[in-house]
Amino acid sequence: MMKADVRLNERGHRCPIPVVSVARAARDASSGTIIAVVCTDPGAASDIPAWCEMKGVDFLGSQAEPDGAMTYFVRIR
């Protein structure tokens, strides 16, 4: 599993809450910080990478969790 400095559990939270939560965590994070966010909302698959693009954050990838959730990894520039 990819290492993360901050882990956010957004299981059960629907769009746009997971993205709002990542944005909040990113605001206080220093350059190079890796944030992992676990989501069950299907919109996150498009919206986390789109948020990264709009905000100049690196999208590192995603990984499926055993419970069906997806974890998305982003790195603050």
Partner 1 sequence: MALPPAGYLDAASGQPLNPGAAQALAAAIDAGWADPVRLYRDGRRAALLLEAARESVASRVGARPADLVFTGSAAQALRLGLTGALAARPGPLVISSVEHSAALAQGDAHAEAGGEVRPIGVDRQARVDAAAFAAALPGATLACLQAANHEVGTLQPLADVVAACEQAGVPLLVDASTVLGRLDPPEGWSILTGSAHMWGGPAGVGILCVRRPTRWQPPLPHDERGPELLSVPLALAAASGLEWADEQRQQDAVRARSLTDEIRSVVARDVGDVMLLGDPDERVPYLTAFSCLYVDGESLVLGLDREGYAISSGSSCVADTRRPSHVLQAMGVLTQGNVRVSLPFGVTDDTVRGFLAMLPGVVRDIRALVQASEGGSR
How many residues interact with partner 1 (rule CB under 8 A)? 20
Q: Site map for partner 1, 5-34, x if CB under 8 A? A: --------xxxxx-xxx-xx----------
| CA–CA separation, 60 and 51 (whole Å) | 13
42 is a site residue for partner 1 (CB under 8 A) = yes
The alpha-helical segments, DSSP class H, found in the chain are: 17-27, 44-55
The one catalytic residue in 4, 6, 15, 69 is 15
54 is a site residue for partner 1 (CB under 8 A) = yes
2 is a site residue for partner 1 (CB under 8 A) = no
Is 15 among the catalytic positions?
A: yes
First vs last C-alpha separation in the chain: 21
Cα Rg, the chain, nearest whole Å = 11
Q: Which residues are catalytic?
A: 15
